Copies of this chain bind each other. A is one copy, B any other.
């Protein structure tokens, strides 16, 4: 809050010099989040939380259009419940927080804070499903989860984070698989068309899939520094959980059968993605569709008679159509305020002073290109709508261009390493499908596989790592 340094934008670390430090500068200086006394956990401040609310709103509507209903399960999971699915517990037990006391009493059984809720959902669904008529169950919860990470970074890897976790059960494998891919498509839609970040859609390798899943699908995004961020995942479980948790139903032939299950999630990590995919040396750059403030009015020569009134009038008028802010602070200069709203990533700003008012005009300045234009107040709504749409599209296209510049092809392990060292980004290669080759790439380059893209290309006949027959094109990339 209060900062009297006129040149304060210089306080943000240069993005080319130290991307990691630039990132934390942005998070803190734009009031997205703050560190807390609970190690590894952040406080999401109103400006950051408002972005999350806008993402939630879009996602929740899209989920519900496909029949999803929200529900809420306990945050505490008994140890014996977590232990029921072997792969799952091995994946998660090392990183859960354990409750051992309730008030002054030691508990008979430890309870973990949910790292994810497959076990609890499956336990409850087993009680709720009797017949095929009870299927599908299309549940989702918006909640907090906790994973005891060693290294944490605001939004990207926080011990506690907010997310939605959808859990569905179905009569047939086919229907469950369809749901898995449907939710992936919804994630892609949200991330591309609202967050303005292009996604790479594909299937995770067995090594990289979710603990307990039969298949994990992912939407991968690329940040400005060329590192990848897994933005959302959707899992098909087959009967991996319904068997140990006994989610059984009487099928249409009157026989008992295990149901088929999915789960899928996106989290506050997306806020980190927005910062790193779009931001620049001036600060944050928010896509208009999810920006808490789409347009800010900065009155010029505010002390002059009638100026503030006219600016307020415009604010009241535009507030009907856009998410608006007006900066009436009297202890900052307009110049400071321009920097400030650029740093906060507000897509469009309006400047209006005595002369503009006289001429029935205002100046519009875009955050993405910094282009200025003077427009008549008469039709200003139309022009703002056009500009916001254009900014949204331009941000997506810029991001796509950067991704394309950072996507390369490699034909050997050495080349994968070389490309990553020079350029980071995505490296596409052919792959034989073996875990051995995958491990080797990780070991040598530090890059795990991102996914086997749905859009396959035939780059060569042989695996870039071992030279044996290739079965798939795969994408590698260092990650957040």
Contact = CB atoms under 8 A, between A and B. Distances in A.
B71 A124 contact: no
A125 to B, nearest CB: 10
B101 A97 contact: yes
Given A94-B104, A128-B1, A130-B1, A72 B36 contact: no
A75 B146 contact: yes
B133 A74 contact: no
A70 B98 contact: no
Contacts of A2: 130-131, 133-134
Protomer copies: 2
A144 B146 contact: no
Interface in A46-105: 46, 48-50, 52-53, 69-78, 81, 93-104
Contact of A41 (B41, B76, B103, B148): B76
Contacts of A134: 1-2
Contacts of A69: 46, 49-50
A139 B46 contact: yes
A380 interface: no
A361 B38 CA distance: 63
A193 interface: no
A410 interface: no
Nearest to A124: B43
A98 B101 contact: yes
A37 interface: yes
A44 interface: yes
A461 interface: no
B123 A37 contact: yes
A133 B49 contact: no
Contact of A162 (B72, B81, B104, B128): B72
Given A100-B100, A144-B75, A1 B133 contact: yes
Contact of A36 (B74, B160, B331): B74
Nearest to A69: B46
A76 B39 CA distance: 9
Nearest to A135: B1
A312 to B, nearest CB: 16
Contacts of A70: 46, 49-50, 53
A120 B38 CA distance: 9
Contacts of A101: 97-98, 100, 110
Given A1-B128, A1-B133, A143-B144, A111 B46 contact: no
A160 B74 CA distance: 7
A109 to B, nearest CB: 9
Contacts of A298: none
A42 B139 contact: no
Interface of A: 1-2, 34, 36-38, 41-46, 48-50, 52-53, 69-78, 81, 93-104, 110-111, 113, 120, 123-124, 127-131, 133-134, 139, 143-144, 146, 148, 160, 162, 329, 331
